[in-house]
Each structure stands twice: as structure tokens, then as C-alpha cells.
Amino acid sequence: MSGFVWFAIIIAGLLVAAYLFRLAGQAITSNAPKFRDMTFGVAFGYVFGAALFVWAVYYYFQPKITEAGTPNAGVIFFRWAVQGFIIASIAAFLFRILGRAVGTETTKKLFRSMPLTASFGILVIILYAITAIFAGSIAPYGESEILGAANVLAGGDIAAGGDPAYPLGTDQIGRDILSRLIYGARNTVGIAFITTCLAFFIGGSLGFLAATLQGWLDQLLSRSVDVLMAIPSLIFALLLMTIASAWAVKLGVPLTIFMVLIIAVIDSTRVYRLARAVGLNIVVMDYIEAAKLRGEGLSYLVFKEILPNAMAPLLAEFGLRFCFVFLTIAALSFLGVGIQPPLADWGTMVRDLGPFINFAAFIPTAAVTPLLAAGAIALLTVAVNFVVDWMLHKTSGLQE
């Protein structure tokens, strides 16, 4: 009850502050149009933002340990988030400067007009790619190597239950988490990337084909896609994976290959829908008619005339689809039919280390263990979307 009262008081205070802020602005700037025509909503937004900022600064400087002697996990995590944000910004800024100075004339030009978010995204993607490719030489231990101690905490502080040999700690059966994270990049990211590309190849080419030819082929493909989409995708994937795991043993083919194919086919239905819709808007253009009347073949129409114009929406979809595929793999792994142990996979790691989150209130470093894998997924997702947004902005010629 008192919480609600406090909330009402704060809102009322902000409303008054917003009114005064606008009034003061008008008086000080002698009625400049910016303040004169400012709506109350905008003024409230400014005041709210300022209040939020003040609170953030205040919270950041709260002591790490409460008076009762327990660690204040909220403050600790908040500090990490702020520090991470600042470090990421600086890294992105430096990377952009580097990009502007080094490289060919074209890449320099690209970096010159690049927003900070995009350069951060590219930096993260490059780092992930390097990690994935050179996982074998970067990782301090083997992927499934079982070392001495289990459940070593992150931080490397012996007094707090850590070990300098394992900077991010070990999992419940004593495997090094840092090494598994690095190998996880190869497995999870690599497989998700291949799967998404395959889904786009299947869905994109069939979608454009349907849009170009229309008629019975369009009907056949579209209705088949409808049928596939009618089945809940995760359950469908689960069903197929169960069948595939029997085949995998019989045929001697790794289950991972089946997983790639199954997820690609299921996700290609979404890509098909988009490609067909975008394609239908493009095939009515006069330049397509001109190409048809010239006597151009189907592949020229699809790849040279339609595809370049469909790039923007497809790229946006790629960013999203990549993240969804990523999560589907993690989900399948969680249910035990995805990437099989002992292969490292971020989805599985989150599940396996999940219970540690309960210790957050007492030992913040323990709670970090599952968050590391989750953070790795989140960071890549954000980075991919930053880059895709930027490319979209560029290719579609959107202003502001």
C-alpha cells in the first residue's frame, strides 16, 4: 500500500517538476520556440529522463555490502552493467577510428559514415568469429576435459572459493567454463549461422520463384508452407529430431546435421512468406516487365532483378531469424535432442548452470556462471541487430 502511495507521490512530483521546467525554460530563453511550443508530454519526458539519470548515479555509488554484511547484488550487477556499457562504447569508438585509418578506400569510406552502434556490432561479430575459428588455440583447456575441482567460482579469488587457474570457474563436473564458452562459440554460432543461411537459401529462392511464376506453383508452395506453419514449430522440430536421432545412429550421420536441416526447413517457411510478399511487390514493377519482354530467363529475373531490390527486408529478417535459430538450438539442446554433450553449447550451459542463479543474493560471483553463457548469446544478438539495422538504413536510403 505504501509502495503505491510512494509511486503516486513520485509521479505527482515529476509532473510538477515538468511544469516548472517548461515555465523556467520559457522565462530563461525569453520564449524561444523550443520551449514555447513544447507539449507537456515532452517536458515530462525530459524531467523523467533527468530523474532517472540522477537515480542511476546515486545507485551506482551505493556501498557494495549492505549494513547487515551481505553483498548488495543489485548494486554489484548494476556497476558491472554500467562499466560494461562504457567499455563497449569506448571499444566501439576506438574500433571506428581504427577502421577509418586502416584499410582500403572503400572500407575507410564505410567507417566514416558509420554510427557507433554499427561499429560496436561489427567489432563483436569479428571477435566472435575469431573466437570460433581459433577456439582450439585460444581455449586454455579442452572442450570436454574434466579437471580437478568442480564448482569453482568465477573471479579467481581463492578466499572467495575461486581458483586463478580457472578465471571463470568450473562447472558441476569440473570442466573449465572459459574453455567451454570459447568452444561454444564455434558450435552454437557456427551451427546457427549455417542453419540460417540454409533457411534463407531455401525460403528465399522458392519465395521469389512463387512470386515470379505465380499460378499453380505458387499455390502448391504456399499451401505446403501453410501446412508446415500450422504445426507449432518447436514441437514439430522435437518430433522430427526424435525420429532423426534413430536414423542418425542407423546411418552413422551426426545428429547435428539432421538438426541443421530440420531447423532450416522449418524456418525457411517464414523466409518464404517474406520473400514471396516482397517479391510480389517487385514483380509488378515496370523494369521487371521490361526484362520479361526482353526475353530474360527465370534465374536472371530472380537473382539479378528481384533479389537486389529485396535485400533490405531480407537482411532485417536475417538478423531476427539468426537469433531465433540460435534460441531454437538452445531450446532443443535444453530438451536433450539438440547439440549433444560433451560438445559445448551456450544453451545447454545456461540450463546446466541455471541453479546457481539462486545464490545471487549471497555470492554474486556464483550467479555469474549461468549469466556468462546467456550474456554471450545476448551480446551476439544485439550486435547482429545493430549491424543489420545499419545495413538496412544504408541500403534502403532511409533518412534519420
Q: Which chain residues interact with another protein by CB under 8 A?
A: 33, 36-37, 285-287, 289-296, 305, 308-309, 311, 397, 399-400
Distance in angstroms (rounded) separating the CA atoms of residues 396 and 312: 6
Quote the least distance from Cβ 45 to another protein, whole Å.
17
Quote the least distance from Cβ 283 to another protein, whole Å.
12
User: Three-state DSSP class for 170?
Assistant: strand
The one-letter amino acid at 266: I
Distance in angstroms (rounded) separating the CA atoms of residues 168 and 166: 6
Cβ nearer to another protein, comparing 108 with 292? 292
**Cβ–Cβ under 8 Å, residues 207 and 275:** yes
Quote the least distance from Cβ 293 to another protein, whole Å.
6
Quote the least distance from Cβ 231 to another protein, whole Å.
36
- DSSP assigned state of 140: S
* DSSP bridge pairs for 176: 170
Of the chain, the end-to-end C-alpha distance in Å amounts to 45
Cβ nearer to another protein, comparing 37 with 67? 37
Question: Which grid coordinates belong to 74?
Answer: 543489485
Q: State the sign of the Cα–Cα–Cα–Cα dihedral 361, 363, 364, 366.
A: negative
Let me know if 135 is exposed, middle or buried by CB neighbors in 10 A (0-12, 13-18, 19+).
buried
Quote the least distance from Cβ 166 to another protein, whole Å.
50
Residue 131's region, left for phi above 0, alpha for psi from -120 to 50, else beta, is: alpha
Cβ nearer to another protein, comparing 138 with 311? 311
Choose among 215, 338, 343, 208: nearest CA to 278.
208
**Cβ–Cβ under 8 Å, residues 275 and 314:** yes
The one-letter amino acid at 157: D
What DSSP assignment string belongs to 272-310?
HHHHHHHHHHHHTSHHHHHHHHHT--HHHIIIIIIHHHH
Cβ nearer to another protein, comparing 311 with 335? 311
Quote the least distance from Cβ 292 to another protein, whole Å.
7
- DSSP assigned state of 173: T
Cβ nearer to another protein, comparing 291 with 379? 291
Quote the least distance from Cβ 106 to another protein, whole Å.
14
Cβ nearer to another protein, comparing 224 with 281? 281
Distance in angstroms (rounded) separating the CA atoms of residues 313 and 307: 11
Quote the least distance from Cβ 21 to another protein, whole Å.
18
Cβ nearer to another protein, comparing 209 with 260? 209
Quote the least distance from Cβ 296 to another protein, whole Å.
7
Quote the least distance from Cβ 171 to another protein, whole Å.
50
Q: Which helix (H) or strand (E) holds 42?
A: helix 40-60
Cβ nearer to another protein, comparing 106 with 399? 399
Cβ nearer to another protein, comparing 97 with 290? 290
Question: Which grid coordinates belong to 35?
Answer: 520551449
Cβ nearer to another protein, comparing 64 with 109? 109
Q: CB 299: neighbour CB atoms within 10 A?
A: 10
